[in-house]
Amino acid sequence: MSDVRELYQEVILHHNRAPRNFGELEDADRSAEGHNPLCGDRLHLDLRLEDGRVADVRFRGEGCAISKASSSLMTEAVKGLSEEEARKLLAAFHAAVTGVDPPADAPELRKLAALAGVREFPARVKCAMLAWRTLEAALKGEDEVTTE
């Protein structure tokens, strides 16, 4: 168990140090700002849809290790997904970080499992969810979201 936890910590630290898809997306057609006042995390998300699928996605901002690692993992996970698939993954991820077992039909969730450990730290759930809430806002065409 502690080996698993160490591995998860490694994944989080690694994504925090070297986040994927970090930066600005010049040809973005959706963007949203996310803010988690509880922790002070701020996130700007750009995405480009093509034929209803997430063709590209980038994020930037300032936040704690959890929020940054979650943004990095989220951008990797949703690339290529349809809007509906992205929303399903969001729901499965939310279930995982709040302690409800994820539905069996979400194999993509395995890549995000490193963050499921935050279920033991309820205050950090909002840090882990910020990237996903911001994605949801961007998909809905809303340009701002707060976790409060």
3-state class percentages of the chain: helix first, strand second, coil last, to nearest 5: 55, 20, 25
Pick the piece of the chain touching Zn ion (CB under 5 A) from 5-13, 65-73, 91-99, 100-108: 65-73
Q: Does 39 bind Zn ion (CB under 5 A)?
A: yes
Q: Do residues 30 and 47 touch, judged by C-beta distance below 8 A?
A: yes
Q: Least Å distance between CB 39 and Zn ion? A: 3
- Note whether 127 binds Zn ion by CB under 5 A: yes
Q: How far is the CB of 3 from Zn ion (least distance, A)?
A: 26
Among 18-26, 59-67, 80-88, 101-109, which window interacts with Zn ion (CB under 5 A)?
59-67
41 interacts with Zn ion by CB under 5 A: yes
CB 77 within 8 A of CB 110: no
Query: Which residues of the shown chain bind Zn ion in the complex (CB under 5 A)?
Result: 39, 41, 64, 67, 127
